[in-house]
Amino acid sequence: MTYRTELRPWAIFRCRVSGNICVARFRSRTDADAYMSILCGLSPGEIFEVVFDVAVEVKQ
């Protein structure tokens, strides 16, 4: 995970059968929720999900 994505841990994913697509990333959950409500209004047939997306570091 890059430094830029670490600064923006909240992500909106478009859920599809063929695979999930990251639509946007945000620093706060409230920003992500607000943007998701806009996306749901623009694309009523799509399913969007807000997730806290942080990579887990594996130590060997």
Q: How far is CA 1 from the centre of its chain?
A: 14
Q: pLDDT tens for residues 22-58?
A: 999 999 999 999 999 999 999 999 999 999 987 666 6
Please classify residue 17 by burial: count the beta carbons closer than 10 Å to its beta carbon, then call 0-12 exposed, 13-18 middle and 19+ buried.
exposed
What per-residue confidence (pLDDT) applies to 34? 97
Residue 13 confidence (pLDDT) above 70:
yes
- Domain positions in the chain are 3-52
What per-residue confidence (pLDDT) applies to 33? 96
Q: Could you give the CA distance from residue 39 to residue 43 in angstroms, rounded to a whole number? A: 6
- Is residue 42 left, alpha or beta, with left meaning phi > 0 and alpha meaning psi from -120 to 50? alpha
**Encoded tokens for 29:** 């959950």
